[in-house]
Amino acid sequence: GNSVTQMEGPVTLSEEAFLTINCTYTATGYPSLFWYVQYPGEGLQLLLKATKADDKGSNKGFEATYRKETTSFHLEKGSVQVSDSAVYFCALSGDTNAGKSTFGDGTTLTVKP
């Protein structure tokens, strides 16, 4: 079945540091890939997505590129802010399973001033 593996957390960075959160996946067919963010006490918000190989999703300074050859969708941001502190989930939606999303374990990011 489909699966998503995220780098283990938590991750603690200083403000303006560079962020990478690794995500790899296993899926049949041609999945779409997503990054969701969950701020403390809140629900899931879509951060960015990519629907086919080599697509780059971007939003709020975050980027991730759909790499089919390495089955990866790593999240990056050049300069993090304290307000980026949250839990980040990598997810995929396959094209053969009723559209459900499969999530990674989540990575907790803490940005210190």
Which parts of this chain interact with other proteins (CB under 8 A)? 29-32, 34, 36, 42-46, 49, 51, 89, 91-95, 97-106
Coil, helix or strand at residue 85: coil
Nearest-approach distance from CB 14 to other proteins, in angstroms: 25
Nearest-approach distance from CB 18 to other proteins, in angstroms: 26
Nearest-approach distance from CB 65 to other proteins, in angstroms: 16
Show the CA angle centred on residue 29, arms to residues 21 and 56, nearest 5°.
40
Residue closer to other proteins by CB (options 72, 101) is 101
Nearest-approach distance from CB 95 to other proteins, in angstroms: 4
Residue closer to other proteins by CB (options 17, 44) is 44
Of 1, 17, 5, the residue nearest 109 (C-alpha)? 17
Q: Alpha-carbon torsion 110, 82, 54, 32, what sign?
A: positive
The amino acid at residue 110 is T
Residue closer to other proteins by CB (options 17, 110) is 110
Residue closer to other proteins by CB (options 100, 112) is 100
Q: What is the DSSP letter of 67?
A: B
User: How many other C-beta atoms are found inside a 10 Å radius of the C-beta of residue 54?
Assistant: 10
